[in-house]
Amino acid sequence: MNVPTGPLYVGQALSRVDAGRKVTGAADYAHDRLPEGVGHAVLVGSPVAKGRIVVVDAAAAESVPGVLAVVTHENAPRLNKVERVMDLFAGQSPQENFPPLQGPEVHYAGQVVAMVVAETVEAARFAASRLRIEAETDPGAATDLDTALPRAYDVPQFFGQDTRTRQGDPEAALASALVVVRQTYTTPIEHHAAMELHGAVAAWEGGELTLYEPTQWVGGASRTVAAALGVPAESVRVVNRFLGGGFGGKGMAKMHSVVAAAVARELGRPVKLTLTREQVFPLGGSRPATRQEVALGAERDGRLIAIEHESWSTTSEVDTYLETCGFATRELYACPNVTTAHHAVPVNTGTPCPMRAPGEAPGSFALESALDELAHGLGLDPVELRLRNYADLEPGHGRPWSDKNLKECYARAAQAIGWAKRDPCPRAQRKGRKLVGLGMATAIYPVFQVAAEARARLLADGTAVVSSATADIGTGTYTIMTQIAADRLGLLLDAVRFELGDSDLPRAPAAVGALTANSVGPAVASACDAVRRRLVRLAVGDGASPLANWPEERVVVAAGRVQATDDPARGEAVSAVLRRHGLAHLEEEGRFAPGGWWQTHGLQTWGAQFAEVAVDEDTGEVRLRRVASAFDFGRVLNPKTARNQLVGGILFGIGMALLEEASFDPQSHRPLNAGLGGYLVPVQADVPEVEVIMLDKPDWVASPSLGAKGVGEIGNVGIAAAIANAVFNATGVRVRDLPITPEKLLTGLL
């Protein structure tokens, strides 16, 4: 009823509504805030990886002109340990459940051991360099997973799911299988490497704290910081309107921000903390290293009869994080006998956290590499192998999918890369003096959906302000929410302003798990629908309106006018209705909560990733020639921002496949490459033509009001395996340990 007709904004490839603010520097990022009287804070990290601080000599630091505070475990404000409540709407979660500076113990190199605050950044840095901290080292530190493997422990549940599952009898099935692939795959610690550094600006007014922190979740940060400080959540307002990259690394609140807030309260002055790039590595979060054992058992025709996927991933000594490598394995292929298991392995690093497609990205490297090994062993085309194991119903549950067009993804991406020309024989294709190969993998990422609230306010001038405490982590939230709101309100795009990134706004979930479009979007739609209905009712109930006594269901709001559906000339401007009623605004709140489809259907997004590589046999250098991928993630709200997410996810996967790896000194266990000079991420020259196909098929089950699922993470799933499989097709060398470096390839080629 009254849904606007005609050309709508949703579905259009619109440029970002915030693009102008970003390119002119008007966008106010957290680190841009400089409150009156701000003191500048720097952190000092532990030089040892395991042990304790035995000497703190702050005299020289304190004597530096302009120094306001030198805070160590000997004089730090007391902070509470915050329990993790993994409710992405109302919960709270520190990235590391270990308040800093509360004691002398050290559990990883770079752990916060002091904060120095001064009138200027320069004075703070100089003072920090004069702070004398001596630590003693305990034996037994480890930063690599294999060394620490005997310390592995189990975590029954993670992200709300059992970490162990068992269906059928995989051991018996493997024993009876005609063909078995059993291999171990490993991936290193990786970092988000967001351009924007971590940190916070903390400003108190009376008992009220405003914290400007680059975060994907202002609500969760507010509750976490309040709990750590022991103050009511209402007294902590977290503001963050723009984010210079998050990828999960800014999804959970950071304890160093709590220290900045506590010190600001003691000093009676605002405090601004910006980590150095080097400090972001131990303190900003990471993807853990993984060791994954995969066993596949199949019939001669390629039908899977058993899948085992057991993984170990690193966590810190102070908190538990788990890389859920096997979660997607449960959902992907039709197979009667499946087990998955996960274990945490504590090492001396900072606590890991979600990083783009947490679980699925490394998990799909292992599973989809193993499938490629199976296809090769059977002499079966890798796409055909996947089609023979296509799950028409959700494995393990037998539920129908909300929607699944994965076969079309395989077909269209295969067509785009020219898969038909692939020679299944390794080392059979050459281009000049380089070996050329093609590889593919499946991508899968779950639909997450969480409660959300939004407010829509239609103003007397015919413009609207719509808001929700969500985040735009570079994904395009400002833009798609503006599109949804403009359509539902019947206004022109320019007449709508969307506000986010403030914990005082209506509550929204963490902007993680590709859930924002399909959680906040429906809340925005609902708030706007309510405003539009009130507006129409006002018009038809008003004797002075051209629509007086017109049936409500035959009235639309479009392009800023309230008008008769079949007689657009009969109507008036939205602003005229409000003015005549003397209303400054019409305001409504909308709330969304996931519905019954969560019990009745399997909910996933799908994709097929294809890559072509050229390998130099003499140097082991891998160059990507092309990537072509197709994705099915429901209706495409904005092809431009969606494509940007998919290409970004694929770039993440290229880094994972070929470049990214955190290294540690084997003696001191300090990071060796904590910087963008040493931690390699793909640059333009590493990235070939990336063709992205979006099926754009609305999923009205998983998303009754929008037809849209999520697109932020799936681009990063399967791409590392597609590249590894292409490298095998090119060279005959199977690298099961990421990244695929020239050294590893040469070892295989020699």
Active-site residue list? 713
> Shortest gap between Cβ of 513 and ligand MOS (angstroms)?
4
Decide whether 512 or 740 has the Cβ nearer to ligand MOS: 512
Decide whether 221 or 355 has the Cβ nearer to ligand MOS: 355
Report d(CA 495, CA 238) in Å as an integer: 27
Decide whether 93 or 97 has the Cβ nearer to ligand MOS: 93
> Shortest gap between Cβ of 5 and ligand MOS (angstroms)?
36
Bridge partners of 403, per DSSP, are: none
Tokens in use for 80?
């509470």
Alpha helices in 2-44 (DSSP H): 19-24
Q: Are 163 and 156 in contact (CB under 8 A)?
A: yes
Report d(CA 507, CA 428) in Å as an integer: 57
Decide whether 513 or 521 has the Cβ nearer to ligand MOS: 513
Decide whether 279 or 716 has the Cβ nearer to ligand MOS: 716
> Shortest gap between Cβ of 216 and ligand MOS (angstroms)?
6
Find the angle CA(8)-CA(11)-CA(17) to the nearest 5 degrees: 85
Bridge partners of 634, per DSSP, are: 708
Decide whether 144 or 323 has the Cβ nearer to ligand MOS: 323
Decide whether 216 or 518 has the Cβ nearer to ligand MOS: 216
Report d(CA 510, CA 253) in Å as an integer: 11
- Which residues bind to ligand MOS, rule: CB under 6 A? 216, 246-248, 251, 354-356, 358, 512-513
Residue nearest to ligand MOS (CB): 248
Q: Say whether the peptide bond before residue 150 is cis (omega within 30 degrees of 0).
A: no
Query: What are the strands, taking DSSP E only, across 195-337?
Result: 199-205, 208-212, 236-239, 271-274, 290-298, 304-315
Decide whether 354 or 522 has the Cβ nearer to ligand MOS: 354
Of residues 240, 197, 202, the one with CA closest to residue 471: 240
Report d(CA 703, CA 488) in Å as an integer: 16
Find the angle CA(165)-CA(166)-CA(169) to the nearest 5 degrees: 165
Tokens in use for 580?
């005549």
Report d(CA 656, CA 663) in Å as an integer: 14
Decide whether 245 or 541 has the Cβ nearer to ligand MOS: 245
Report d(CA 123, CA 144) in Å as an integer: 37
> Shortest gap between Cβ of 93 and ligand MOS (angstroms)?
12
Decide whether 199 or 509 has the Cβ nearer to ligand MOS: 509
Q: Are 236 and 503 in contact (CB under 8 A)?
A: yes
- CB atoms under 10 Å from CB of 498, counted, come to 26
* Edge-first strand listing for the sheet containing 304-315: 165-167, 338-346, 304-315, 290-298, 179-187
Q: For the chain, what is the radius of gyration of the CA atoms?
A: 27
Q: Are 472 and 509 in contact (CB under 8 A)?
A: no
Q: Which residue has the tokens 């503006």?
A: 482
Decide whether 204 or 448 has the Cβ nearer to ligand MOS: 448
DSSP assignments along 502-560, one per residue: BTTSSP---S-TT-STTTHHHHHHHHHHHHHHHHHHHHHT-TTSTTTT--GGGEEEETT
Report d(CA 22, CA 18) in Å as an integer: 6
Strands 132-137, 105-106: pairing is: unpaired
> Shortest gap between Cβ of 454 and ligand MOS (angstroms)?
21
Of residues 653, 645, 627, 640, the one with CA closest to residue 721: 653
Measured CA to CA in angstroms, residue 74 lies from 53, 113, 115, 128, 422 at distances of 10, 10, 12, 16, 65
Strands 157-158, 132-137: pairing is: unpaired
> Shortest gap between Cβ of 510 and ligand MOS (angstroms)?
8
Q: Are 707 and 634 in contact (CB under 8 A)?
A: yes
Q: Which residue has the tokens 């929410």?
A: 481
> Shortest gap between Cβ of 562 and ligand MOS (angstroms)?
40
Q: Are 342 and 314 in contact (CB under 8 A)?
A: no
> Shortest gap between Cβ of 307 and ligand MOS (angstroms)?
25
Hey, what amino acid is at 237? R
Q: Reduce the DSSP state of residue 252 to 3 states and report it.
A: coil
Phi, psi of 305 (to 5 degrees): -115, -10
Strands 304-315, 338-346: pairing is: parallel
Decide whether 271 or 355 has the Cβ nearer to ligand MOS: 355
> Shortest gap between Cβ of 698 and ligand MOS (angstroms)?
24
Q: Reduce the DSSP state of residue 53 to 3 states and report it.
A: strand
> Shortest gap between Cβ of 397 and ligand MOS (angstroms)?
23
Query: What are the strands, taking DSSP E only, across 105-151?
Result: 105-106, 112-118, 132-137
Find the angle CA(570)-CA(574)-CA(577) to the nearest 5 degrees: 85
> Shortest gap between Cβ of 370 and ligand MOS (angstroms)?
24
- CB atoms under 10 Å from CB of 101, counted, come to 26
- CB atoms under 10 Å from CB of 582, counted, come to 7
Decide whether 216 or 339 has the Cβ nearer to ligand MOS: 216
DSSP structure class, residue 284? S
